[in-house]
Structure 1
Amino acid sequence: MADLQDEPHSVGIGAEDLPAPFAPETAASALERAAALLSVHPVADGCNTFVWTLRQSPYHDIDTPDGGVDTDIPRLRAGGVGAQFWSLLVPPGRLREDATSDQVVSDTLEQIDVALTLMHRYPDHLCLALSADDMADARNRGRIASFLGPVPGRTLTDSLGALRAFHALGVRILAPAGAPWAQQDLTAFGHEVVREANRLAMLLDLTGCPPAVACQLAGASKSPVIISNTAAAALTPHPANVPDEVLIAVREANGLAMVTFDTARTGDSLHAVADHLDHVRAIAGPQSVGLGAAFGAEPPGPRPAGLTDPSGYPRLIAELLDRGWPESDVTALTWDNAQRVLRDAEFTARRAAH
């Protein structure tokens, strides 16, 4: 059944859905190829922070274009987005450093409630996804597969009950960054968290982890790990970007490093973002590179020219094709790698159950 569900089906993007070409005289052919690829292998975007925005401003209607945010259904469709990971993290600065674990849990539960309400509000476009099969099925039905997570690792202190409860609510990603068990070193309890996440087929998102801890987490996990939004520190030495040793650890864990669209972290142009994708692909390998734009903020933050909202994805794919990326590497970047990571995590969980 899974093989049947994985058969590619068009998600409806065509030339008429594309944004204006970045270079009309030379990019038309590449844009047409990009549209054809995205119709079968749409983008699985690893990070969107719109849940927090919607929690603060519940009046947003993403069924129509909204100038106040960079995420809405028309632009997701125009960009060929077929799967979206909806972050449940509270943005830095919005949660007190001295917040108790109970407060963090309460905040996270409210984020989950807002995210589930979003799914229910737009059932013709968004579909809650819990597995790789759900991801394929949503694409085949013309929906955007919507995964919940990550949730913050700070919600877990000396018990794994919260992790199991989040899983029961539909969450499939955990972010250890900032957790007391993943500060300078992975503690004994941290190893327990990794084992339980593996058993539940929950992905570990290493975004924001110190490099040494990120490498420890990648090495301890039996399932692939992800970095839901990052860029190459070798090109842009931003504190949120990852050095090559972390990219190598992700490759060795068969994981996924998803490149963000953030001027401060990648540079101010589409070409600069493509440079970061080239670097991650060269170090982590074509099987471990993905996309995690981190759209969804209100107001939208500084974005590279040509990638100011999700509708810019076809331009980026066209740029990569012009750079000589094989179509197999492009389809791995947009869809196949994300689905493979989910399937591998589920296989590890089934093996643990036996």
Structure 2
Amino acid sequence: MADLQDEPQSVGIGAEDLPAPAAVTGALERAAALLSVHPVVDGCNTLVWTLRQTPYHDIDTPDFGVDTDIPRLRAGGVGAQFWSLLTPSEAPADDQVVSDTLEQIDVALALVHRYPDSLCLALTADDMADARNRGRIACILGPVSGRTLTDSLSALHAFHALGVRIFAPAGAPWAREDLTAFGHEVVQEANRLGIVLDLAGCPPAAARRIAAASKAPVLISNTAAAALNPYRGNVTDEVLLALREANGLAMVTFDTARTGDSLHAVADHLDHVRAVAGPHCVGLGAGFGAEPGAPRPTGLTDPSGYPRLIAELLDRGWPESDLALLTWGNAQRVLRDAEFTSRAAHHRRPAPTPF
């Protein structure tokens, strides 16, 4: 089983951290035990954008001005978090997207530095495992928007130097229904740098083409099964099969409009992705980080709900080996494979001239 040999010491979650102890069942206890060894890698949280607008939140204490804080991340068994650096799609111009992205990187790095006892910047899969073993939540920066690149790779190099490890082509003129010549360059350079491509929001045809063009696994950081709910942004079975072929990862969101309004509905989407793409290609990308009021499925209104979801999947017969892949193993494997592809590319060819 991929990457399960990294044995952690602690992630700071136990049965005593779970809300409402009287409601703890055998499945919840098993879920807590599993998460203490294989914590959640959450593929999508928009807290950085929220903090950019309201920078005075203290996430070290429960703060009901947002749905994410360190106590709730720990109660949910979150061991690693992808911090989304995407900007609202209605941003007026590409140069504004670049500016907004750089400001969000500043906010994300400041967030990590402000809480060194709980958060740790992770640039590699080994960094993720090290943070987990030291009881900290690994912070992976990204995705950033494909709109930040127009006809030069310089911004991609700069984002990598600043610690970004996830890049989302959606919305870029070079990655619509087909990949342009520059789009192929972006894919190759992301592979060379070890930046994982996030296909969230890409049209199905573009998603399949990028997955086929990339030598490293791709992921979709927040999605759901279009076969169960044909909502915009949900992934089709054809794309799930392409992810399976590419050894990629589909991370299921907790968004009522996309999954349904209950924890059971989210579990249905996880069942479907696992059935079509396989247990090695399914993950979790909740999409927390918003201010209160964002529609969330009952039982999954904030990160502390993860143990309840894992308990539901245990009740549905998921083996613990598949759950360990769902929560931790698959995401770490994708990052490791991206790093391996990067090392191989450096041996094959030098970095291109960005100008």
Q: 1:179 aligns with which of 163, 172, 176?
A: 172
Q: Does 1:17 align with 2:22?
A: no
Q: Does 1:40 align with 2:33?
A: no
Q: Helix, strand or coil for the counterpart of 2:25?
A: helix
CA distance in structure 2 between the partners assigned to 1:34 and 1:7 by the alignment: 17
Q: Helix, strand or coil for the counterpart of 1:83?
A: strand
Count of equivalent residues? 345
Amino acid at match of 1:335: W
CA distance in structure 2 between the partners assigned to 1:8 and 1:76 by the alignment: 18
User: What corresponds to 1:336 in structure 2?
Assistant: 329
Report the alpha carbon displacement of residue 306 of structure 1 after superposing the two structures with TM. Answer: 0.3
Which residues of 2 match residues 1-354 of structure 1 at below 5 A?
6-20=6-20, 24=23, 28-93=25-90, 95-96=91-92, 99=93, 101-354=94-347
Report the alpha carbon displacement of residue 103 of structure 1 after superposing the two structures with TM. Answer: 2.1
Q: TM-score, normalised by structure 1?
A: 0.95
Report the alpha carbon displacement of residue 289 of structure 1 after superposing the two structures with TM. Answer: 0.2
Report the alpha carbon displacement of residue 348 of structure 1 after superposing the two structures with TM. Answer: 0.5
Report the alpha carbon displacement of residue 291 of structure 1 after superposing the two structures with TM. Answer: 0.2
CA distance in structure 1 between the partners assigned to 2:193 and 2:5 by the alignment: 22
Identical-residue share of aligned pairs (%): 83
User: What do you get for the CA RMSD once the two structures are aligned?
Assistant: 1.4
Ranges of 4+ aligned residues in structure 1 off by more than 3 Å: none
Q: Helix, strand or coil for the counterpart of 1:102?
A: helix
* Alignment gaps of 5+ in structure 1: none
Q: Deviations over 1:220-241 (max 9, x none)?
A: 0000000000000000110110
Q: Helix, strand or coil for the counterpart of 1:217?
A: helix
Q: Deviations over 1:141-169 (max 9, x none)?
A: 11000000001111111111110110000
Amino acid at match of 1:51: V
Report the alpha carbon displacement of residue 19 of structure 1 after superposing the two structures with TM. Answer: 2.3
CA contact (8 A) 1:5 1:133 kept: no
Report the alpha carbon displacement of residue 4 of structure 1 after superposing the two structures with TM. Answer: 11
Q: Deviations over 1:12-69 (max 9, x none)?
A: 2111111237x94xx6110010000000000000000000000000111101111111
Report the alpha carbon displacement of residue 5 of structure 1 after superposing the two structures with TM. Answer: 8.5
CA contact (8 A) 1:5 1:136 kept: no
Amino acid at match of 2:60: D
Change in CA separation of 1:340 and 1:276 when aligned onto 2, cut-off 3 Å: same
CA distance in structure 2 between the partners assigned to 1:182 and 1:9 by the alignment: 42
Q: Deviations over 1:319-346 (max 9, x none)?
A: 0000000000000000000000000000
* Alignment gaps of 5+ in structure 2: 348-355
Amino acid at match of 2:282: V
Q: Helix, strand or coil for the counterpart of 2:13?
A: coil
CA distance in structure 2 between the partners assigned to 1:255 and 1:9 by the alignment: 28
Report the alpha carbon displacement of residue 300 of structure 1 after superposing the two structures with TM. Answer: 4.0
CA contact (8 A) 1:231 1:241 kept: yes
CA distance in structure 1 between the partners assigned to 2:137 and 2:257 by the alignment: 29
CA contact (8 A) 1:6 1:133 kept: no
Q: Helix, strand or coil for the counterpart of 1:331?
A: helix
CA distance in structure 1 between the partners assigned to 2:116 and 2:10 by the alignment: 19
Report the alpha carbon displacement of residue 121 of structure 1 after superposing the two structures with TM. Answer: 0.8
